[in-house]
Structure 1
């Protein structure tokens, strides 16, 4: 059994504390500002239906669970524990701050924070999708992969919608469909590429992406057929990217299978 670098206790506790702060920060907008994050946003053709945001509760709970497991095991279940923990700690801190500044309507800061989160989470997804730490419990790697997959996929969709909301309330016409389709397509392209790169090991990533596109289609069902069609195409493309990615993972795991002729 190979020896893997351990996660420092200080960094493990930092990730856990920030995960708790991220969840607790949900209540600050309600108490301090009398509203919820994005209360000042605009209705767009590409906004997800409201029910989809319930996934945040799953993210907050899983983030705390992962933090607890980091502290208990001093590992992340990956070959790069320090970098993964830093990615997640940065994400949790940015998410807590995002909840506050979004409700306070502080200019473009929420979108910038979501961009930081998305970049950190995509890096975390790359690490989590890599080889597992064979000295750590299998349950740790599995939980990390599920959590990172869900969080990274939702952040991929959320960052584009958040920037679109900012554009719609400042410089762009929220009733104009063209520029919103560009953003929707950009989100789909990023999600499809990420699915192909990491989705084979992180199936939660494409699942949550499909969740997001379905929610956008549901919201646009009575207002824009074009958006619904674009979402349907994106969903099919995400599923296709996952099938290709999963096939690549299986081939790597079984290089001498009968299918290879060996």
Structure 2
């Protein structure tokens, strides 16, 4: 019995280490993908492949990808160095998420917003599952748990917002809607915010997730101000405030329950 348990434990450890290396490799591939694409340096997932919309965040808002990429690599290295017992489900989610990001970058070179929207949908599914999984994860040392929640939360929050932008550009490219029409784009903002709010509640108030979504709304608000589309400006500002309010409410509710 002892021998069997020992063998099972060693197999689990080996599998975990292999996946940990896979997570790091996938994170690195995603980071270097923009400079090795066939058509030259590419962009980052959700950075607006396709027509510019009234709800496209201002250019500097996409600099958040630098933070996301850095955190992904730091988290992967930390998990390897500390030999943390990261759940297999989370590791698989991260591999799919990071490779999905690299796939998006490759597809962006084809100028097909429908293809990139498909890649972002894959990323969204993996990111959401990861952020919902990480809420139950307690890693040693404690700082690694915090790092993992921040890394996964920031990525998931931004990808959630980015998916709606990319899906919108795909709709414009398909001729379903017009890029200059503000009405349907306001609906997209409402749906995106409702989705972000839902996941903020489901993650029990993952701060990084909420801040990433808020950052996207701030970027949209700046675009609205620059374009003179007051409806977009007001909607995005209200959306940002609502997301922060939901975050505070969820975290306060959780704190009260613990006491």
TM-score (norm 2): 0.87
Distance verdict in 2 for CA 1:107–1:240, change over 3 Å: closer
Distance verdict in 2 for CA 1:76–1:243, change over 3 Å: farther
Divergent runs of 4+, >6 A: none
| Cα drift, residue 230 of structure 1 | 1.0
Match of 1:240 among 231, 241, 245: 245
User: Residue deviations 1:102-155, cap 9 Å, x none?
Assistant: 12224512111111111111111112222524xx11111011011011101100
Distance verdict in 2 for CA 1:52–1:199, change over 3 Å: farther
Supply the distance in 2 between the matched residues of 1:191 and 1:138 (Cα, whole angstroms). Answer: 27
1:177 and 2:182 correspond: yes
For structure 2, the 5+ residue unaligned runs are 1-8
Supply the distance in 1 between the matched residues of 2:199 and 2:248 (Cα, whole angstroms). Answer: 13
Q: Is the 8 A contact 2:20 2:76 kept in 1?
A: yes
Distance verdict in 2 for CA 1:93–1:124, change over 3 Å: same
| Cα drift, residue 196 of structure 1 | 2.0
Q: How does 1:219-234 map to 2 (within 5 A)?
A: 219-221=223-225, 222-234=227-239
1:23 is matched with 31
Match of 1:8 among 12, 16, 21: 16
Q: How does 1:123-138 map to 2 (within 5 A)?
A: 123-133=129-139, 136-138=140-142
1:203 and 2:207 correspond: yes
Match of 2:143 among 139, 142, 155: 139
| Cα drift, residue 199 of structure 1 | 5.0
Distance verdict in 2 for CA 1:124–1:40, change over 3 Å: closer
SS in 2 for 1:174: coil
RMSD between aligned residues: 2.0
Supply the distance in 1 between the matched residues of 2:235 and 2:107 (Cα, whole angstroms). Answer: 32
1:189 is matched with 194
Supply the distance in 1 between the matched residues of 2:146 and 2:33 (Cα, whole angstroms). Answer: 27
2:61 is matched with 52
For structure 1, the 5+ residue unaligned runs are 255-262
